[in-house]
Amino acid sequence: MTSAHRVLVLNSGSSSLKYQLLDMRDGSRPAAGLVERIGERVSRLVHTAPDGERRERTAPMASHEAALKAVAAELAADGLGLDSPELAAIGHRVVHGGLRFTEPTVITDEVLAEIERLVPVAPLHNPANITGIRTARALRPDLPQVAVFDTAFHTTMPEYAARYAIDTETADAHRIRRYGFHGTSHAYVSREAARLLGRDPSEVNVIVLHLGNGASASAVAGGACVDTSMGLTPLEGLVMGTRSGDVDPAVTFHLRRVAGMSVDEVDELLNKRSGLVGLCGDNDMREIRRRIEEGDERAKLAFDIYVHRLKKYIGAYIAVLGRVDAVVFTAGVGENAAAVREAAVEGLEPLGLSVDAELNAVRSGEPRLISPAGARVAVAVVPTDEELEIARQTYSLVNN
Ligand SMILES: Nc1ncnc2c1ncn2[C@@H]1O[C@H](COP(=O)(O)OP(=O)(O)O)[C@@H](O)[C@H]1O
Ligand SMILES: CC(=O)OP(=O)(O)O
Ligand SMILES: [Mg+2]
C-alpha cells in the first residue's frame, strides 16, 4: 500500500477556482477553499485549514494560474503542499469532453490538446479548466493528473435525444449535438437518491434537478442518463443565474439583424446578462426571495419564469421516463431554496408529485425525502458532492 492517499480536486469556473483536498483512507477533507473574482481588480481567497480555521486573503489574481499558485501556497502553509508525498493525484473537473471522453482520463499532452479543441463549445469553462491543468502540471510534473468530464455521464443518451433536428452533414461536420453537463453531479445524485429509497440504482428512474448558478435537469433510467436539458453548450435548458436557457434560436438572428449586435455581444448577452440577473438584476436566489417578501414585482416575475421552465422540464422528463420513482433537487438553489421546490411541483398532484410543507422546510445537509408519506413519486433533496465523486474516480484510476 502506497502512502499517497490524498487527492486534490480542482474545479475551475469562469472566474472562480474551488478546491478540496480529500483523504481517501478516512474520508476526511483536510483542506478546502475557493478563490473568487479571478481577473477582477481584487480577488478573494478563502481557505479552510485542517483545524477548521478560515483564512481569508484578498489580492489581485489576474488568472487561474495566479489563483492556483496562491492556493498551493495556502496548502503549503498547512504542510499539505503540492510537493507532499501523500498526494496521489490531482483530479480536475473538465466541463466539455465532447464525444471522445466518456470516462475519467489521465491527462497527457494529447488529452490536453483535445480539451483545447473543445473550447469553442465551452467558451466559459474549458479555458479555465485548461489553465488549471497546465499550472498544476507545472507545479507537480511527476504527479498523475486526471480529467473528470461533466459530459461523460450523458454519453449514454440515445441518439434521438442527443441529435438536434438540423441538417445531418452540417451537424456532423461541426460536431453539433447535445452533450449535456453537470454529469458528475447527476451521476452522484441519482445514485444517492436510489440509496435514499433503499433500492439499487439499476431499478429506479429519477429526475435530477441540479440548480446552482448553472442549472440543468436530467432523466436517469436505471442509472443511465436518457435525456438532459443542456446541449451543445451549457446555455440550453433551464433558466439559470446569468444564462437564458431555452430561447427561440431566431432571437439571435433578430439581435444581429435588427439590434445590430455582434456574435460576441449576443453570446455575452445570453450567457452573462440573461437568466435571473437579466430578468431582475439579481442572480442569487436568496436575494430574489428577500425582494419578493418586500413586494418586488420584477423579482417575483423572474422567480415565476424560473419555476415555470423547471416545471416544464419535470413534465417532459416524466413523459420521457414513463415511470418516475423520484424527483430530486440538488446544488445551491435545489438544496436550499424550499420556495423553489414547493413552486416547482405545485399543481402536479395529478402526476403523483407533491411536497410536505413541514419536511420541505427542514434545513439539513443530509439526503432527505420531502414528499408526504406514501406518495406515488418521492420528492427528495440530495446534496451534491462533485468533489467526492471526482476524487473517487481519480483515485480509482491512478490505483489501477
Ligand atoms: N440559502 C440559500 N437559499 C436560496 N438560494 C441559495 C442559498 N444558498 C445558495 N443559494 C443559491 O445557490 C447558488 C449557488 O449554487 P452552487 O451550486 O453553489 O453554484 P455553482 O457551483 O454553480 O457556483 C447561489 O447563486 C444562490 O442562488
Ligand atoms: C456546466 C456548467 O454550467 O457549470 P457551472 O454550473 O459550474 O457553471
Ligand atoms: Mg456547481
* pLDDT tens by residue, 204-224: 999 999 999 999 999 999 999
pLDDT at 122: 85
* Residue 77 CA, ligand 2 centroid: distance in Å: 30
Q: What is the ipTM of this complex?
A: 0.98
Pocket lining: 190 vs ligand 1, CB cutoff 6 Å:
no
* Residue 389 CA, ligand 2 centroid: distance in Å: 16
* Residue 350 CA, ligand 3 centroid: distance in Å: 32
Tell me: pLDDT of 2 over 80: no
One-letter amino acid of 14? S
pLDDT at 211: 98
Distance CA 275, CA 351 (A): 28
Q: In terms of Cα–Cα distance, which of 354, 311, 325 is closest to 204?
A: 325
321 Cα distance to chain centroid:
22
Distance CA 311, CA 318 (A): 11
Query: What predicted TM-score, i.e. pTM, was given to this entire model?
Result: 0.96
Ligand 2: which of 9, 10, 38, 95 to mutate, judged by most atoms within 8 Å of the beta carbon?
95
- Domain ranges for the chain, please list them: 6-149, 199-386
* Residue 260 CA, ligand 3 centroid: distance in Å: 34
Please give the class, per CATH, of domain 6-149: alpha beta
Please give the mean pLDDT across all residues of the chain: 96
Distance CA 117, CA 111 (A): 10
- Please compute the mean of the pLDDT values over residues 137-143 and round it to a whole number: 94
- Please compute the mean of the pLDDT values over residues 174-184 and round it to a whole number: 96
pLDDT digits (tens, 9 = 90+) for 335-382: 999 999 999 999 999 999 999 999 999 999 999 999 999 999 999 999
Residue 331 CA: nearest ligand 1 atom is 17
CATH placement of domain 199-386:
3.30.420.40
- Shared fold status for 6-149 and 199-386: yes
pLDDT at 234: 93
At CA 173, angle to CA 167 and CA 175, rounded to 5? 90
Pocket lining: 212 vs ligand 2, CB cutoff 6 Å:
yes
pLDDT at 1: 47
- Please compute the mean of the pLDDT values over residues 70-75 and round it to a whole number: 96
Q: Could you write out the DSSP letters of every residue in 96-109?
A: --TTT--S-EE--H
Which grid cell is 320?
A: 420521457
Distance CA 400, CA 383 (A): 29
Ligand 1: which of 34, 150, 284 to mutate, judged by most atoms within 8 Å of the beta carbon?
284
pLDDT at 103: 96
Distance CA 306, CA 272 (A): 16
Distance CA 88, CA 25 (A): 12
Tell me: pLDDT of 397 over 90: yes
**Residue 385: CA count within 13 A, CB half-sphere:** 17
Q: What percent of the chain is modeled with pLDDT above 70?
A: 100
Q: What percent of the chain is modeled with pLDDT above 90?
A: 95
- Report the b/e string of 336-359 with b at 16+ CB within 10 A: bbbbbbbbbbeebeebbbbbeeeb
Pocket lining: 241 vs ligand 1, CB cutoff 6 Å:
yes
Pocket lining: 122 vs ligand 1, CB cutoff 6 Å:
no
